[in-house]
Amino acid sequence: MHAFLTQIGYDAWVLPALLIIPLVGAALLLVQGALASDDGTLAAAPSARWIAFVVFTLEFLVSIGLWWSFDPATTAWQARVTTSWIPDWGARFDVGIDGISLFMILLTTFLMPLAVLGSWTSIRDKVRTYYALLLILTTGMLGVFMSLDMLLFYVMWEIMLVPMYFIIGVWGGERRIYASLKFFIYTMVGSLLMLVAILYLWQVTKNPVTGQPSFAYDDMVAHAAVYSRAALWLFGAFFLAFAVKVPMFPFHTWLPDAHVEAPTAGSVILAGIMLKLGTYGFLRFAMPLFPGAATTPWVRTTILTLAVIGIIYGALVAMVQPDFKKLVAYSSVSHLGFVMLGIFALTLQSVQGALMVMINHGISTGALFLLIGMIYERRHTRMLDAYGGIARVVPMFAVLLTLVSLSSIGLPGTNGFVGEFLVLLGSFKTHPWFAFFAATGVIFAAAYLLWAIQRILFNRLDKPENEHIPDLNRREVAIMAALAAMIIWIGIYPAPILTRMEASANKFVTDVQAGAPRAPGLVMGGRR
């Protein structure tokens, strides 16, 4: 496989191709729309979803080669492609991956075709625009994961916002307008301050060869690893942008609204991929750029505390939700708390665990949102009380919901276990008390999810309208089969994934620790 990939020069074109394929797909949909005389409803334009599905499948097939072409031994950027963009400002089109971004890219390309299948029949209005927006969104997300130029990164970071804003606002539920605006404004406040911080960094960053200002990620890391008063402010700006996206407690309030109001595919993408953009931002940008600020004791303690509060608070709030979708939304706050704990505990195991939780949360929560979407299409309600005892009516749905819930809880043998276990193991070494409190979050997770599936699937079948729900059709089973296979594979044999991320995770931990402030006196010694 490796030889074949080398032969076709895979590394030289794969990343730009991944960015361009969705855009070509979006253009195809728009051209088709301009040529067709129909009104863009599902009945009139059934081909739109097929175009989107084929494009996303192609995207996935193109990206999967990265799994083999990736060299786990090195920490250098791989599959790197760089060309000139705005030479006057030292900005380049510069993309590449390491063991951290590899899995984020694969997760994205894996989930997107499933998200299309998940909206197969539920999106009936303006279908072309809907799928075109999904495609554009994919380019933005992949762009963030592979950018090695800060200007490119920022542009990609912002560009994701517009498609998602429209997906929630046009195809969402009843309170969609409120939810979409809240989502947009929250994200924008954080990102714009990050923009100022990036420009500030750009002023101090010089390209080593030309001496001109440079947006190159490597140059910025080389120049910004200083501890000073400014570094704290700059870290703060990056922190705000990423903490809103993660979302960390108390910046999470946009999340339940956005997740609940978004259409199924929107929720899957929001939870499965977009939340990871925040934690990825910490791993790639906020911490390597400002290791001194990020590891300042009070900063680190505050963030770890917020992470653990997020774990427990998210779980407790999830427990009392009457709406299944909202329950899963709050469970995301809890899971992402584990990721933040793992990242800021700063041991190899905890960081690897955090990466695993990022992957697993994408798969499990994506699967949960898809299942909710499927049952919602049948019964048009997401209230837990409206169901009960439907395991007998829809056995296939029941089996899959149970499996996915168990993986989300973190049962050994499923993917969820690997990540959370590693996070707890790793953070126990440096921060035992935080690990202790975080571990209670696992118990709460078991409580809210098991209680929820009890109320949906088991109990008594006491509502007549539940007696004739059709079970999952073949399309839906196919979606879930792909996800279930991943759940079990990662749960049983995570080694190939862990090997591929080990070198990069190790580099992250050593680099950040090397930049930590040594003398405690420096910590309080800002000027003025």
Partner 1 sequence: MTYDLSVPAQLMSALTPDLVLMGGAMVLLLVAAWGKETEGHARLVGILSVALCVITGALVVWMAASGATATRGMIAVDNFRWATDLIVLVATIITIVMAIDYSRVERLIIPEAHVLVLLASSGMMLLAAARDLVMVFLGIELMSIAVYVLAGLDRRNARSAEAALKYFLLGAFSTGFLLYGMALLYGAAGSTDLAVIGSKVTGAAITRSPMLLAGIALLLVGFGFKVAAVPFHMWTPDVYEGAPTPVTAYMAVAVKAAAFAAFLRVWVESFGGAAAAWHAALWWLAVVTMVVGNVVALAQRSVKRMLAYSSIAHAGYLLVAVVVNSTLGTSAFIFYLVSYMLATMGAFAVVMVVGEPGERNQELRDFAGLWRVRPWLATAMAVFMLALLGFPIAGGMGFFAKWYVIQAALGAYQPQTRLAVVVVLASVVSAGYYLAVVMYMFMRPRAEDAPAPRRIGLGTGLVIGAATVALLVFGIYPTGFVRIATHSRPSIAAAPSGPPLTSASDR
Q: What are the residues binding partner 1 (CB under 8 A)?
A: 85-89, 154-155, 158-159, 161-162, 165-166, 169-170, 176-177, 180-181, 184-185, 188-189, 192-193, 195-196, 199-200, 202-204, 213, 226, 228-231, 233, 527
CB of 213 to partner 1, least distance (A): 7
- C-beta of 231 vs 509, nearer to partner 1: 231
Q: Least separation, in Å, of the C-beta of 177 and partner 1?
A: 5
C-alpha–C-alpha distance, residues 379 and 397, integer Å: 14
Which one, 156 or 336, has the nearer CB to partner 1?
Answer: 156
Question: CA-CA distance, 424 to 209, in Å (whole number)?
Answer: 44
Residue 357: burial class (beta carbons within 10 Å; 0-12, 13-18, 19+): buried
Looking at residue 274, what DSSP letter applies? I
> Helix, strand, or coil here: 126?
coil
Specify which residues 383 forms β-bridges with: 323
Alpha-carbon distance 499 to 72, whole Å? Answer: 7
The nearer residue to partner 1, 267 or 350, going by C-beta atoms, is 267
Q: Which is nearer to partner 1, 234 or 357 (CB)?
A: 234
Give the per-residue SS3 of 349-394. Answer: HHHHHHHHHHHHHHHHHHHHHHHHHHHHHHHCCCEHHHCCCCCCCC
Helices 127-146 and 47-69, interaxial angle, to 10°?
Answer: 20
Q: In sequence order, what DSSP letters do the residues of 44-72 get, joined into one string?
A: T-THHHHHHHHHHHHHHHHHHHHHHH--T
* 358 touches 433 (CB < 8 A): no
Residue 202: CB minimum distance to partner 1, A:
8
Residue 166 CB, shortest distance to partner 1, in Å, is 6
- Cα separation, 497 vs 103, in Å, equals 8
Residue 213 or 353: the one with the smaller Cβ distance to partner 1 is: 213
Least Å from the CB of residue 155 to partner 1:
4
Residues 6+ apart with CB under 8 A from 504: 75, 98, 99, 100
Question: Which CB, 178 or 458, lies closer to partner 1?
Answer: 178
Provide the minimum distance between the beta carbon of 41 and partner 1 in the complex, in angstroms, as a whole number: 12
Question: What are the residues whose beta carbons fall under 8 Å from the beta carbon of 246, sequence distance 6 or more?
Answer: 252, 275, 278, 279, 282, 336, 339, 340
Pairing of the two strands 78-86 and 91-97? antiparallel
Decide: residue 206, CB within 10 A, 0-12 exposed, 13-18 middle, 19+ buried: middle
Residue 351 to residue 502: CA distance in whole angstroms: 9
Q: How far is the CB of 229 from partner 1 (least distance, A)?
A: 6
CB of 189: closest distance to partner 1 in angstroms? 5
| Residue 464 or 521 having the CB closest to partner 1 | 521
For residues 286 and 281, what is the distance between their CA atoms, to the nearest angstrom? 6
CB of 196 to partner 1, least distance (A): 5
Retrieve residue 134's tokens.
Answer: 């999904």
Shortest CA distance to 386 belongs to which of 319, 329, 462, 449?
Answer: 462
Q: In terms of CB distance, is 60 or 153 closer to partner 1?
A: 153
CB of 13 or CB of 85, closer to partner 1: 85
CB of 246 to partner 1, least distance (A): 20
Please say which residue, 177 or 396, places its beta carbon nearer to partner 1.
177
In the complex with partner 1, the residue whose CB is nearer, 113 or 140, is 140
Contact between residue 144 and residue 156 where contact means Cβ atoms under 8 Å apart: yes
CB of 95 to partner 1, least distance (A): 16
Give me the least distance between CB of 97 and partner 1, in Å please.
22
For the bound state, the minimum distance from the C-beta of residue 314 to partner 1, rounded and expressed in Å, comes to 27
Return the number of the residue (213 or 272) whose C-beta is nearest partner 1.
213
Alpha-carbon distance of 507 to 291, in angstroms, equals 13
Q: State which H helix or E strand residue 454 sits in.
A: helix 432-457
Q: Which is nearer to partner 1, 94 or 98 (CB)?
A: 94
